[in-house]
């Protein structure tokens, strides 16, 4: 279902993600005449409990809720860092890996997550610090009746590297300052354009851009 309202909702309150996705999807948004907005544009909506056990399940949970609640097409993603030696953890728990540690230590959530992960990997040698970001990006259209949903698509992307020994770089968020790419720089040390070209989120949403154009271009 294509609505007269040409807004496309990104199911997040993370301002960094909204800016990043506007950049990654700029061409597709312009071509389709769409404006990307975050959940801050809908203050009455609740946050969705990410109860899925995979990135794709969580992305769909958020996109379905946003599409059904707003009557607009919705995008959502779920992403995280999968560390090889930890069996793929933090995985879907990446954003809340440190639990209440941030409150206890008086730091922000990203810093607490990074600090805990580094502590857990402190005695792991460099050759066993392989890891990768994983992103599942979902597009869900509203249904024909209020509160329902229609067509949905999920695309995935990955970005491999190794976990560094300390955070480096300012152009990123989450675990970006920890994942060292083959060129020796962390994702947070890349420019925005460089990061979009190699990141898991960039790969997933570039794939989804074709679906945005096909389903919403009219």
d(CA 77, CA 88): 18
**176 labelled as ligand-binding?**
yes
**12 labelled as ligand-binding?**
yes
**Which alpha helices (DSSP H) does 106-158 contain, by range?**
109-120
Residue 44 CB coordination number (10 Å): 5
**78 labelled as ligand-binding?**
yes
**181 labelled as ligand-binding?**
no
**128 labelled as ligand-binding?**
no
Peptide bond into 43 cis (omega under 30): no
Contact 50, 78 (CB under 8 A): yes
**206 labelled as ligand-binding?**
no
DSSP for residue 49: P
**185 labelled as ligand-binding?**
no
> What is the Cβ-side half-sphere exposure of residue 173, based on CA atoms within 13 angstroms?
12
Is 110 assigned a catalytic role?
no
Q: Which of 5, 30, 78, 110 is catalytic?
A: 78
Binding site for Mg(2+), by residue number, is 78
Known binding-site residue numbers for substrate? 12-17, 79, 173-176, 195, 200-201
Binding site feature residues: 12-17, 78-79, 173-176, 195, 200-201
Residues classed as catalytic: 78
């Amino acid at each position: 279902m294509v609505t007269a309202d040409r807004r496309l909702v990104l199911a997040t309150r993370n301002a960094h993600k909204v800016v990043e996705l506007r950049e990654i999807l700029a061409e597709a948004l312009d071509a389709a005449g769409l404006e990307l907005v975050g959940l801050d544009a809908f203050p009455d909506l609740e946050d969705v409990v990410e109860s899925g056990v995979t990135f794709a399940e969580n992305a769909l949970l958020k996109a379905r809720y946003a599409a059904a609640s707003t009557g607009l097409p919705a995008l959502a993603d779920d992403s995280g860092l999968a560390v090889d030696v930890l069996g793929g953890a933090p995985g879907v728990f990446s954003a809340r890996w440190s639990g209440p540690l941030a409150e206890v230590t008086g730091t922000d959530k990203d810093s607490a997550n990074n600090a805990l992960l580094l502590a857990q990997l402190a005695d792991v040698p460099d050759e066993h610090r392989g890891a990768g970001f994983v992103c599942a990006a979902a597009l869900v259209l509203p249904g024909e009746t209020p509160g329902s949903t229609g067509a949905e698509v999920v695309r995935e992307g990955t970005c491999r590297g190794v976990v560094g020994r300390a955070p480096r770089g300012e152009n990123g968020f989450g675990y970006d300052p920890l994942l060292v790419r083959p060129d020796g720089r962390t994702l947070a040390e890349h420019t925005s354009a460089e990061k979009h070209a190699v990141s898991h989120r960039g790969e997933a949403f570039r794939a989804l851009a074709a679906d945005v154009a096909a389903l919403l271009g009219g």
